[in-house]
Amino acid sequence: MTLNNIIITDKAPETLNDILSKENYSKIAILVDENTLANCYPLLEGNLPQHTLIEIKSGEINKNLDTCTYVWQALTDQSFDRKSLLINLGGGVIGDLGGFCAGTYKRGIDFINIPTTLLSQVDASVGGKLGIDFNGFKNHIGLFQEPKNVIIDRSFLKTLPEREIRSGFAEVIKHHLIADKTGWQGLKNHRFNELDWSTLIPHSVQIKHKIVTEDPHEGGLRKALNFGHTIGHAIESYLLNNDKGILHGEAVAAGMICEAYLSYKRKLISETELNEIIQFIQSIYEKITLSDADREEVCGYLMQDKKNRGNSVLAALLNGVGNVVWDQELNRQESLDSLVFYDK
């Protein structure tokens, strides 16, 4: 399947070669981290024209300016020019950072993203957001720019730890809940190990693609993608700042339960819909344990959210499964109530 510049295939090496054979790049570099070097690069290697490898350290902690300096320096050392290409082979960190480096090197060179995690395939691959974290602020410096191509191949997922797959799957669940009622009816009856990625990945990409095409710069509709992320992000930030490991999708899964509860409290979804959402999410994700004190702290983080408006925070709530209302104000007490509800 092809959606503008996004190609979903089970033949990434051949697809990449095809693209490269039609262009005349002066030089090609491939950006990897130690995990994608070991697991993903070998799947491409045999087919590639001459190229330079640039290896950075994995992890969100390295999605920073120092790593960009390293990448820009490597491109400079190899005399990369305006006609050179950067291929970003990795998860969302490599895609965001590599895209940012390419988009700013010599005022922008072509880049191709080959996302290798479920999260980056169904989410970060779509919408042209690039960037890095800065002084503790996530995605604080960056730009919107489309890669020349995105090549999505689920073969890369074979080496991805199951916990990472479950985490990325939270965004797939979200896409169904916000935009595909019929798809949700089918999805909710599946066990995790029965899921068919060959259809779920393209479907999920299609949903996000449609939303960001209608609203490229987050003026309205794109905010629907924040469902589960207002409370989810507060849980994630609180736990990470307290050295408790949590993956993004695990926090978003909890956030979706809280925000579905708030949608129910506002009579936007039925009790049956709420229960189905909770049941499905709980069949896939372990419950996150939060004490009373933790919940208070999470609310503290929530009120500092970027989407904050005075004493309330803005969230996207479900308006029936498959629909969203955004810019909904949540106050501290109802947010706390939803966290208490989550714990029950």
Can you give the binding site for ligand NAD, defined by CB under 6 A? Answer: 33, 35-36, 39-40, 58-60, 63, 90-94, 96, 116-117, 119-120, 123-124, 127, 129, 139, 156, 159-160, 164
**What minimum distance in Å lies between the beta carbon of 57 and ligand NAD?**
9
Nearest distance from residue 227's CB to ligand NAD, in Å? 14
Nearest distance from C-beta of residue 72 to ligand NAD, angstroms = 19
Q: Which is nearer to ligand NAD, 146 or 273 (CB)?
A: 146
Q: Tell me the three-class secondary structure of the chain, residue by residue.
A: CEECCEEECCCHHHHHHHHHHHCCCCCEEEEEEHHHHHHCHHHHHCCCCCCEEEEECCCHHHCCHHHHHHHHHHHHHCCCCCCCEEEEEECHHHHHHHHHHHHHHHHCCEEEEEECCHHHHHHHCCCCEEEEEECCEEEEEEEECCCCEEEECHHHHHHCCHHHHHHHHHHHHHHHHHHCHHHHHHHCCCCHHHCCHHHHHHHHHHHHHHHHHHCCCCCCHHHHHHCCHHHHHHHHHHHHHCCCCCCHHHHHHHHHHHHHHHHHHCCCCCHHHHHHHHHHHHHHCCCCCCCHHHHHHHHHHHHCCCCEECCEEEEEEECCCCCEEEEEEEEHHHHHHHHHHHHC
Our CB check for ligand NAD shows the closer of 44 and 336 to be: 44
Identity of the residue, 18 or 164, whose beta carbon is nearer to ligand NAD in the bound complex = 164
For ligand NAD, the closer CB: 142 or 276: 142
Nearest approach, Cβ of residue 99 and ligand NAD (Å)? 8
Considering beta carbons, is residue 103 or 202 the nearer one to ligand NAD? 103
Please state the closest distance from residue 245 (CB atom) to ligand NAD, in A: 13
* Residue nearest ligand NAD, Cβ-based: 92
